[in-house]
Amino acid sequence: MTPEQVLNEISSLTPSEQLKIAQVIWDKLPNDLGTDLSAAQQAELDRRWAEHKKDPSSALTVEEFKERMRTSRGK
């Protein structure tokens, strides 16, 4: 079965079933796969973390984040 065929089959499943499959696949990947950051990425994360530490109130709650995502998608 080709990856395209697998994806077609998966797309016919419920979102809950698709999530279970994604979790199983994620858990089977090597722990160090694709986790190396470039120097620029690390610098950006460090900058954002320092900014957050200066003003933690700038962070969104999970509920605020979800609401922003819903409104940005027009839902």
* String of DSSP letters for 3-71: HHHHHHHHHTS-HHHHHHHHHHHHHHS-TTTT-PPPHHHHHHHHHHHHHHHH-GGGSPPHHHHHHHHHH
pLDDT digits (tens, 9 = 90+) for 33-61: 877 889 999 999 999 999 999 999 989 99
The length of the chain in residues reads: 75
Provide the pLDDT for residue 4. Answer: 95
Domain ranges of the chain: 1-36, 38-75
pLDDT digits (tens, 9 = 90+) for 5-23: 999 999 999 999 999 999 9
Closest CA to 18 of 8, 26, 10: 10
Provide the pLDDT for residue 34. Answer: 76
**Average pLDDT of the chain?**
92
Whether pTM exceeds 0.75: no
